Amino acid sequence: MIKAKPKGIRATKAAATRIVLIAAARKLFAEQGFHSTGTHQIVMDAGVSRGALQHHFARKEDLFRAVHEAVEQDIMEAEVRTWVSNVPGARWEGLKDSIDAFLDAATTPEVQRIILIDGPAVLGWADWRRLQEHYGLGLIEQAVRDGLEVGQIRAQKSGPLAGLILSMIGEAALMVAHASQPDEARSEAKIAMETMLASMQ
């Protein structure tokens, strides 16, 4: 008689399987894009069975969403690490640095393909936009409130301004990602963003 594995062991193994599936898919989606990546490639690179893939992700789109969120989470954590200072005004200045870093990332295969090209197409614009808000809006609003408190931004409500800044960042990154010359587009986008942020003072 074969004994069933304890629930804790099964849960740990299931979590590990999910992690390797996301990691394998993340690499392939970045290199080949969502539509050119087959599920057979994902399970082969992950070293798991097709049944394991279907257990965790009923559709390839579900796996893509998990990959998308993993990339977004990494971007957000990198931004948070640059905002460790509690000096008044530091978060607003840090936001400017974060925008530069994100525009740089928009030229990399992973962010360009997964977040900016395939993201809106696979998830749908509305769902993609909600994810951008979930991972980015809170940090931007913190920076805006910081700028308001020290007078770096003209007095106004933080929410609407943060939403518009998020939209500007998204549009700038999409412009870079879809450009035939991303590096040149990135430089132009940076200048435009700096001009718009400066006008808020």
CB neighbour list of residue 195: distance below 8 Å, 6 or more residues apart: none
Q: Give the separation between CA 46 and CA 25, rounded to whole angstroms.
A: 8
pLDDT, tens only, 108-122: 989 999 999 999 999
The CA-CA-CA angle for residues 116, 163, 69, to 5°, reads: 40
The percent of residues above 70 in pLDDT, for the chain, comes to 95
- What is the rounded average pLDDT for all residues in the chain? 90
Q: What is the pLDDT of residue 158?
A: 94
| CB-count burial class (<10 Å; 0-12, 13-18, 19+) for 20 | middle
**Is the predicted pLDDT of residue 4 greater than 60, yes or no?**
no
Instruction: Tell which residue, 119, 129, 117, 120, has the closest CA to residue 178.
Output: 117
What topology does CATH give the domain 1-58? Arc Repressor Mutant, subunit A (1.10.10)
**Is the predicted pLDDT of residue 19 greater than 60, yes or no?**
yes
Q: What pLDDT band is residue 192 in, cutting at 50, 70 and 90?
A: very high
What topology does CATH give the domain 60-198? Tetracycline Repressor; domain 2 (1.10.357)
Q: What is the pLDDT of residue 88?
A: 81
3-state secondary structure string across the chain: CCCCCCHHHHHHHHHHHHHHHHHHHHHHHHHHCCCCCCHHHHHHHHCCCHHHHHHHCCCHHHHHHHHHHHHHHHHHHHHHHCCCCCCCCHHHHHHHHHHHHHHHHCCCHHHHHHHHHHHHHHHCHHHHHHHHHHHHHHHHHHHHHHHHHCCCCCCCCHHHHHHHHHHHHHHHHHHHHHCCCHHHHHHHHHHHHHHHHHCCC
Which CA distances in Å does 63 have to 16, 27, 42?
A: 15, 12, 10
What is the identity of the amino acid at 129?
Answer: R
The region of weakest confidence among 75-89, 130-144, 167-181 is 75-89
The domains of the chain are located at: 1-58, 60-198
**Is the predicted pLDDT of residue 30 greater than 60, yes or no?**
yes
Which CA distances in Å does 151 have to 86, 99, 147, 178, 195?
A: 16, 20, 6, 36, 18
Q: Give the separation between CA 163 and CA 159, rounded to whole angstroms.
A: 6
Q: Give the separation between CA 166 and CA 162, rounded to whole angstroms.
A: 6
Mean pLDDT of 172-200: 91
Q: What is the pLDDT of residue 168?
A: 93
Q: What is the pLDDT of residue 9?
A: 80
